[in-house]
Copies of this chain bind each other. A is one copy, B any other.
Amino acid sequence: MKKFEEKTIQTEMKFQGRIITLQVDEVELPNGKTGKREIVKHPGAVAIIPITEDKKIILVEQYRKALERSIIEIPAGKIEPNEAPELTALRELEEETGYTTNKLQYIQSFATSPGFADEIIHLYLAENIVKVEEKAELDEDEFVELMHVSLEEMESMITSKQIYDAKTAFAYLWVKNYLK
């Protein structure tokens, strides 16, 4: 998949943070001209659709500083260095919800913002979930509130924009299609 490839002429690092870095690539365009691309590098993430025995979906409400509001999402988190995505999924599921599972199914991966970022999110389904006795701690700057919702409740949360997040909107349609 290299159609219309843009070859890198040079890369200028502009910001290196704790989570993301930002670089500007000067590129050779397919027509021979040059252009600039502003690119955010991100370690990648996972998101999990946790389904309870009574077919509720576990969602997480948290404040998203980038949006200056709290939104409701499926559990998700960044991949740590050298961590396999399935392990990230199990870790984040436990940290954010207090549940674990022996039935984690990979669904799909996708880029979230291919126009300016390399973030890929790997989506998993977690069934047969059980409470862990002593759950792993959240990161110290993480504050979340849990809710168990039906698919119908999830739909009205989308309509009311409490759910306002691409992966969660996808999860709603995925469950509606494949788990009914």
Contacts and interface: CB of A to CB of B under 8 A. Distances in A.
A145 B118 CA distance: 21
B64 A114 contact: yes
Interface in A1-46: 1-6, 14-15, 17-20, 22, 24-25, 27, 29-31, 33, 35-40, 42, 45
A86 to B, nearest CB: 18
Contacts of A106: none
A125 interface: no
Nearest to A158: B108
A24 B20 contact: no
A61 B176 CA distance: 29
Contacts of A161: 109
Interface in A83-111: 108-111
Given A111-B165, A118-B66, A143-B30, A36 B14 contact: no
B166 A71 contact: no
A3 B145 contact: yes
A51 interface: no
A116 B31 contact: no
Nearest to A114: B64
Given A141-B35, A143-B31, A117 B117 contact: yes
Interface in A147-174: 158, 161-162, 164-170, 173-174
A179 interface: no
Given A3-B63, A14-B14, A18-B36, 9 more contacts: A3-B145, A4-B143, A14-B22, A40-B116, A76-B115, A108-B169, A166-B167, A170-B173, A177-B177
